[in-house]
A = this chain, B = another copy of it.
Amino acid sequence: MVRKHSAADQPLRLDNQICFAVYSAAHAFNRVYKPLLDRLGLTYPQYLVMLVLWEQDDVPVKDIGEKLFLDSGTLTPLLKRLEAAHLVRRTRSSEDERQVLIALTAQGHALKDKARSVPQSILAASDCSVSELVGMKNEIVALRDRLNAVIGE
């Protein structure tokens, strides 16, 4: 009997992999965000950095990295582009000159108002109730945190 797909192959099937579900959902989100963020002049990772700064201004690069799980190799050039767009300022901390503090400019602050409609548009595109989304979000965050815990070992 010829079996093209044996039972042992099931774990390797693309459709069975949660990682691919997450990977492809991240790209789908990115494609939905693109036209919305184009109007703000931001990419999605830049938008995430702005979300951090709109919550807390004048923070070290390291803090942004810890919140977004990104390192300086990603953030340094990204922050330079935000600086070139006059949305943030980069200044060395006087207390600890190793740190670079990121602060919003007036333009950076002002952009927050234009960004308020974004989450609403994403919610609409999700075609899903808020409570369902909150439930999924909590599950995914819990999974992410368990994965990150393994990496630190």
Contacts and interface: CB of A to CB of B under 8 A. Distances in A.
Interface of A: 5, 8-9, 11-14, 16-29, 31-33, 44, 48, 51-52, 54-55, 67-69, 112, 115-116, 118-120, 122, 125-128, 133-134, 136-137, 139-141, 143-144, 146-148, 150-151
Nearest to A23: B26
For the residues of A in contact with B, the DSSP-based class is helix
Nearest to A148: B28
Given A21-B140, A23-B26, 9 more contacts: A12-B119, A14-B51, A20-B48, A24-B144, A25-B140, A28-B143, A126-B143, A128-B146, A139-B139
A44 B128 CA distance: 30
Given A8-B116, A14-B48, A21 B147 contact: no
B126 A52 contact: no
A56 to B, nearest CB: 9
B5 A55 contact: yes
A70 to B, nearest CB: 8
A26 to B, nearest CB: 4
12 contacts: A11-B119, A11-B120, A12-B51, A12-B119, A17-B51, A21-B141, A22-B22, A23-B29, A23-B48, A25-B143, A32-B151, A136-B140
A74 to B, nearest CB: 10
